[in-house]
A and B are shown apart, each in its own frame.
Chain A
Amino acid sequence: MATSVAAHVPAAAAARRSGIWSWITTTDHKRIGILYGVTAFMFFLLGGLEALIIRAQLASPNNTLVDADTYNQLFTMHGTTMIFLAVMPLSAAFFNYIIPLQIGARDVAFPRLNAFSYWVFLFGGLFINASFLFGAAPDGGWFGYANLTSKAYSPGLNIDFWVLGLQILGIASLAAGFNFVVTIINMRAPGMKLMRMPVFTWMALVTQFIVITAFPVITIALVFLMFDRFFGTNFYNVTAGGDLLLWQHLFWLFGHPEVYILILPTMGMVSEVLPTFSRKPLFGYAVVVYSGVLIAIMGWGVWSHHMFATGLGPIADSVFGATTMLIAIPTGVKIFNWIATMWGGRIQLKAPMLFAIGFIAMFIIGGLSGVMHSSPPSDLQQTDTYFVVAHIHYVLVGGAIMGIFAAIYYWWPKVFGRMLHDGMGKAHWGFMLLGMNLSFFPMHFIGLLGMPRRIYRYDTALGLDTLNLVASIGAFILGASFLIFIFNVFWTRKRGQLAGKNPWNAATLEWAISSPPPVYNFSVLPTVSSRLPLWTEHGVSEIPDVPPEPVHVPGGTIWPILTAAGILAIAGGAIMHTLWIVLAGALFMVFSIYRWAFEPFEV
């Protein structure tokens, strides 16, 4: 059956909705959100493990823990995993779970497409990591510069896994992008005007617009690379007149907007946490929203600052240097808004708030070193050194990951009905902050003193033994801090305090319903009359605990996961250079799409 009706008795609905099969066929945005979160966290641990091996190798000079080949695979997969398989899908977990609740909807616009996105993401992640089983993990860096990736210089399967895996992941991102833009624009409850939407939902909307415009560009860059490797075309072939900068332009035309795909959702998350724990509304809501939009637009005009070292000439250098400095302005505006939100508030230093404050502080440091790169002469000194590594880790660990953990501690009670232990959360925060600063702050000096990145060993004559050891110790403290979180999760399952509807006394709509929310989210569709519905008298119409009439809930379906499996088979056949598997996979995919299109399914 593809459709069902949730009964008045929740227990009856719950019984039908348990077991592995119900998870495989689910179209419930909340379940898909949890699937995204758990999967992405696993990949996050894997990427972290890769980082720890890298830091163990670099803990002492001329270390022999791993060889150069393995090291190349480790830093490539660390970057690829953290960006595409950890930070992006961790944000997607919150998009899935929280957005429909924040706008007062019962699900996303296309529940089956949503399931499809998840399965494609999972299969893409598994595919790209399966390369380890063949001892041929991608080794060309997460940026995959041509022509390091061409068949002549990388004849193995490594880059094949990378080029195919990233294309699969792109499909997942694009499908989710269309889905969430339509959901946010079209599925809002009555009265939920655009300028009443929570900032998290706003930033998600902006992010998805970047996704649907940036991902086609990298898709084409990857298609060119795939054709070069599989069919002998000349896109990145210098001897035929090809230009290696084509790859760099296409990649960074995607790559810089991608940076904002990673950070804007997090900016939305802390914009929810900070007002709640300052007990006052966000300062300058409209300006925060418009800054986010401006960042997204300006993010399209800065890509060549990743390419100053290629010698683009004085005009291009000046223009991209200037646009890069300009984009710091809306970012700075947001930071001042967050600080002004806390100013004069009754601040409650709970774990989510600590992570949000940590986000602001760390992101400022990362932002400052970022503005330093915007000046081409300065950038030329920093390019390819550990200074850049310090910068990206301050914005992505101190920024994105800190913000995501603020969101995890903040929304955990809504998702699972129990509060994560606050003391353990604070300990996690403390060790994470200590570990990341100990690890990444010395890298500023390591870089400026001349140590290049992506080199698997260094000589003691460089004089950087101590700083590198400190960075490695910091990395292990950072890694260990997540063990506290994992312990907290298991502890909370049994002993966590029950959350109730609104444990933080927050203002937005998701806190008006029970924790965890019922399968239909809202017993009646709410009518919203305020930007802060729960902080305003009559801000939202009454939402009874039991639906006054039966609520239609979309049922499960198997076709999204089978369509995704077809895509996986196509990639699998391609990596084996076996045409019939590719064709069989394509046929199976088309068959599944037809079954999907014609199965009875009501949203």
Chain B
Amino acid sequence: MTHAVAHDTSTGLDNRKMAFWLFIGSECLLFGSLIATYLVYEGRSISGPTTHEILNIPLTSISTFDLLMSSLAMVLALAAVARGDKLWSRVWLATTALLGSMFLGFQAYEFTHFVREGLTLQVNLFGSTFFVLTGFHGGHVFVGVMWLLTLLFRSFQGKLGPDKALNVEIAGLYWHFVDVVWIVIFTVVYLIQRQ
């Protein structure tokens, strides 16, 4: 096994962390394009169910709260790893992954429910934009859950000591970003509906 080589960087910022911030910047434009498209097409569907007929704000508020709490758990997980607390780093990593999975469960329920109500990818513009936008976000959450489970697995292997806190911090950056994107999507798609 290799040990972490200390590299002096020109800015003092770790290379991986800087790369990850750039990645997040790039992701902003990815989601920005998706959200902009959703807004452009909102209210332009010719047929089929649209926003206020089908979106369930109370239910999605619960899943939004669930995802927000997962960010809190993520912060606690990083703190536990950084101070070398094995038990609590495992507890909080598992909690974060669990809350993320629950969010995905909510989404799976929502999607199947919508399809039963007649809203599919193909039926109208709302279906296309809604499923692709929220599906893209759900895909990101799924990747995040896999990442968290990998970290949890490493922790059980005893390979997630305080020297690896940066790995958890970067996973955390990703997780918080995905969370923030959801807050935007929840606001734009669910809360502010065009009549």
Measured CB to CB, the residues of A under 8 A from B are 3, 109-110, 174, 177-179, 181-182, 185-188, 192, 212-217, 219-221, 223-224, 227, 231-235, 240-243, 246, 250, 594, 600-603
Q: What's the minimum C-beta distance from A233 to chain B, rounded to whole angstroms? A: 4
Which residues does chain B contribute within 8 Å of A110, judged by CB atoms? 15, 19
Given the known interface contacts A182-B19, A233-B128, the answer about A221 and B33 at a Cβ–Cβ threshold of 8 Å is yes
Given the known interface contacts A221-B33, A231-B122, the answer about A187 and B27 at a Cβ–Cβ threshold of 8 Å is no
Distance in angstroms between the alpha carbons of A3 and B2 in the assembled complex: 10
Which of B10, B44, B132 is close to A188, meaning CB atoms less than 8 Å apart?
Answer: B10
Given the known interface contacts A182-B19, A601-B2, the answer about A217 and B125 at a Cβ–Cβ threshold of 8 Å is no
Chain A contact residues: over half helix, strand or loop, or mixed? helix
Chain B contact residues: over half helix, strand or loop, or mixed? helix
Distance in angstroms between the alpha carbons of A600 and B1 in the assembled complex: 6
B41 interface residue (CB < 8 Å to A)? yes
Q: Are A603 and B19 in contact (CB under 8 A)?
A: no
Query: Chain B, 6-19, contact with A by CB distance < 8 Å: what is the 0/1 string?
Result: 01011101010011
Point out which of B25, B26, B27 has the most chain A C-beta atoms below 10 A from its C-beta: B26
Q: Are B5 and A603 in contact (CB under 8 A)?
A: yes
Q: Are A213 and B26 in contact (CB under 8 A)?
A: yes
Q: What's the minimum C-beta distance from B36 to chain A, rounded to whole angstroms? A: 9
Q: Are B132 and A227 in contact (CB under 8 A)?
A: yes
Which residues does chain A contribute within 8 Å of B45, judged by CB atoms? 240-241
16 sample A-B contacts, Cβ–Cβ < 8 Å, listed by A number: A109-B15, A177-B26, A182-B22, A185-B18, A187-B10, A215-B26, A216-B27, A217-B30, A220-B30, A224-B132, A233-B127, A235-B128, A240-B46, A240-B124, A250-B37, A602-B5
Distance in angstroms between the alpha carbons of A232 and B132 in the assembled complex: 12
Nearest A-chain residue to B33, judged by Cβ: A220
Q: Are B26 and A216 in contact (CB under 8 A)?
A: yes
Q: What's the minimum C-beta distance from A10 to chain B, rounded to whole angstroms? A: 23
Which of A179, A216, A234 is close to B122, meaning CB atoms less than 8 Å apart?
Answer: A234
Q: Are A186 and B11 in contact (CB under 8 A)?
A: yes
Which residues does chain B contribute within 8 Å of A192, judged by CB atoms? 10
Distance in angstroms between the alpha carbons of A215 and B23 in the assembled complex: 12
Q: Are B125 and A212 in contact (CB under 8 A)?
A: no
Which residues does chain B contribute within 8 Å of A233, judged by CB atoms? 121-122, 127-128, 132
Which residues does chain B contribute within 8 Å of A600, judged by CB atoms? 1-2
Q: Are A186 and B122 in contact (CB under 8 A)?
A: no
Nearest A-chain residue to B15, judged by Cβ: A109
B192 interface residue (CB < 8 Å to A)? no
Q: What's the minimum C-beta distance from A389 to chain B, rounded to whole angstroms? A: 29
Given the known interface contacts A212-B26, A216-B26, A232-B121, the answer about A186 and B10 at a Cβ–Cβ threshold of 8 Å is yes
Query: Chain B, 110-136, contact with A by CB distance < 8 Å: what is the 0/1 string?
Result: 000000000001101101110010000
Q: What's the minimum C-beta distance from B168 to chain A, rounded to whole angstroms? A: 14
Which residues does chain A contribute within 8 Å of B1, judged by CB atoms? 600
Q: Are A240 and B125 in contact (CB under 8 A)?
A: yes
Distance in angstroms between the alpha carbons of A243 and B22 in the assembled complex: 32
B72 interface residue (CB < 8 Å to A)? no
Q: What's the minimum C-beta distance from B14 to chain A, rounded to whole angstroms? A: 9
Which residues does chain A contribute within 8 Å of B59, judged by CB atoms? none
Which residues of B in the span 26-68 have a Cβ within 8 Å of any Cβ on A? 26-27, 29-30, 32-34, 37, 40-41, 44-46
Q: Are A185 and B11 in contact (CB under 8 A)?
A: yes
Q: Are A234 and B33 in contact (CB under 8 A)?
A: no
Given contacts A110-B19, A174-B26, A220-B30, 19 further A-B contacts (CB under 8 A): A178-B19, A179-B19, A181-B18, A181-B19, A185-B18, A186-B10, A186-B11, A187-B15, A192-B10, A217-B30, A231-B122, A233-B122, A233-B127, A241-B41, A241-B45, A242-B125, A243-B40, A243-B44, A250-B33
Which residues does chain A contribute within 8 Å of B127, judged by CB atoms? 233-234
Which residues does chain B contribute within 8 Å of A250, judged by CB atoms? 33, 37
Measured CB to CB, the residues of B under 8 A from A are 1-2, 5, 7, 9-11, 13, 15, 18-19, 22-23, 25-27, 29-30, 32-34, 37, 40-41, 44-46, 121-122, 124-125, 127-129, 132, 150
Q: What's the minimum C-beta distance from B157 to chain A, rounded to whole angstroms? A: 10
Q: What's the minimum C-beta distance from A215 to chain B, rounded to whole angstroms? A: 7
Distance in angstroms between the alpha carbons of A298 and B30 in the assembled complex: 20
Q: Are A242 and B2 in contact (CB under 8 A)?
A: no
Q: Are B22 and A219 in contact (CB under 8 A)?
A: no
Q: Are B128 and A234 in contact (CB under 8 A)?
A: yes
Given the known interface contacts A213-B29, A219-B30, the answer about A109 and B122 at a Cβ–Cβ threshold of 8 Å is no
Point out which of B9, B45, B124, B128 has the most chain A C-beta atoms below 10 A from its C-beta: B128
Q: What's the minimum C-beta distance from B30 to chain A, rounded to whole angstroms? A: 4
Given the known interface contacts A109-B19, A216-B33, A241-B46, the answer about A187 and B124 at a Cβ–Cβ threshold of 8 Å is no
Which residues does chain A contribute within 8 Å of B124, judged by CB atoms? 234, 240-241
Which residues does chain B contribute within 8 Å of A246, judged by CB atoms? 37, 40-41
Which residues does chain A contribute within 8 Å of B5, judged by CB atoms? 602-603
Which residues does chain A contribute within 8 Å of B121, judged by CB atoms? 227, 231-233
Which residues does chain A contribute within 8 Å of B18, judged by CB atoms? 181-182, 185-186
Distance in angstroms between the alpha carbons of A107 and B143 in the assembled complex: 30
Q: What's the minimum C-beta distance from A158 to chain B, rounded to whole angstroms? A: 23
Which residues does chain A contribute within 8 Å of B23, judged by CB atoms? 178, 212
Which residues does chain A contribute within 8 Å of B25, judged by CB atoms? 212-213
Which residues does chain A contribute within 8 Å of B19, judged by CB atoms? 109-110, 178-179, 181-182
Q: Are A234 and B132 in contact (CB under 8 A)?
A: no
Distance in angstroms between the alpha carbons of A255 and B155 in the assembled complex: 45
Which residues does chain A contribute within 8 Å of B26, judged by CB atoms? 174, 177-178, 212-213, 215-216
Q: Are B22 and A227 in contact (CB under 8 A)?
A: no
Q: Are B11 and A216 in contact (CB under 8 A)?
A: no
Point out which of A185, A216, A231 has the most chain B C-beta atoms below 10 A from its C-beta: A216
Q: What's the minimum C-beta distance from B20 to chain A, rounded to whole angstroms? A: 8
Which residues does chain A contribute within 8 Å of B40, judged by CB atoms? 243, 246
Point out which of B23, B29, B44, B46 has the most chain A C-beta atoms below 10 A from its C-beta: B29
Nearest A-chain residue to B23, judged by Cβ: A178
Q: What's the minimum C-beta distance from A601 to chain B, rounded to whole angstroms? A: 7
Distance in angstroms between the alpha carbons of A505 and B171 in the assembled complex: 48
Which residues does chain B contribute within 8 Å of A109, judged by CB atoms? 15, 19
Q: What's the minimum C-beta distance from A240 to chain B, rounded to whole angstroms? A: 6
Given the known interface contacts A187-B10, A213-B26, A227-B128, the answer about A232 and B122 at a Cβ–Cβ threshold of 8 Å is yes
Q: What's the minimum C-beta distance from A151 to chain B, rounded to whole angstroms? A: 12
Q: What's the minimum C-beta distance from A64 to chain B, rounded to whole angstroms? A: 42
Q: Are A187 and B9 in contact (CB under 8 A)?
A: yes
Nearest 4 CB-CB pairings of A with B: A220-B33, A233-B128, A216-B30, A216-B29
Distance in angstroms between the alpha carbons of A60 and B37 in the assembled complex: 45
Q: Are B44 and A182 in contact (CB under 8 A)?
A: no
Q: What's the minimum C-beta distance from B171 to chain A, rounded to whole angstroms? A: 12
